[in-house]
Amino acid sequence: MLAMQHEQKDETMVRAVLGVAYGMTGAYVGAILFLVTVGITDNLFHLQRTEMLWTRESLSDLFLFSLAGIFVLSWWIVPLGVFFGVYFCPRLSQWPRKAAVIRGILLGAVLGLLTAVFFTVVSRHSTPRPTIQLSFAFLPVYCAVWCGGYSWLKAKRV
């Protein structure tokens, strides 16, 4: 009995760590894509009329700024990763693929919208307004695609 409880705790811990890893990976990829999108829209529409955060010569800045953004929002990303790893992921394998993907897309869109709100609160004094506005378009779509894709991979194959 005690061994089964210990095994269950270990499994829960593994799911929590995996959830955080998937969340941090998704957030990092999203941050890179977001900064690329900001750079492209800035160059196309001259919205901010500022220098690029990264250039071809300093491409490493793109990855470093993305990493910094993840650390700034880690108070939000880590608990969500634990929640998804412990609660959401085990249920995905029980749902039909279509239901899992729809739930993943909807949940991802809501999380993306909340993340845009938190991004605005954290960076409203240091980030140009067009970048904040773009986050409200980019983050819900990106998070919906990330969560929907993950749900498709993990759902019951029916």
CA–CA separation, 100 and 119 (whole Å)? 27
> Under a CB-based contact definition with an 8 Å cutoff, are residues 34 and 139 in contact?
yes
> What is the number of H-type helices and E-type strands within the chain?
6, 0
pLDDT digits (tens, 9 = 90+) for 58-106: 788 889 989 998 998 899 999 999 999 999 888 888 999 999 999 999 9
Give the range of the structural domain holding residue 23, as residue numbers without chain letter. Answer: 2-154
Give the confidence band of 2 by pLDDT, cuts at 50, 70, 90. low
CA–CA separation, 146 and 125 (whole Å)? 29
Domain count, the chain: 1
> Under a CB-based contact definition with an 8 Å cutoff, are residues 66 and 27 in contact?
no
pTM of the model: 0.84
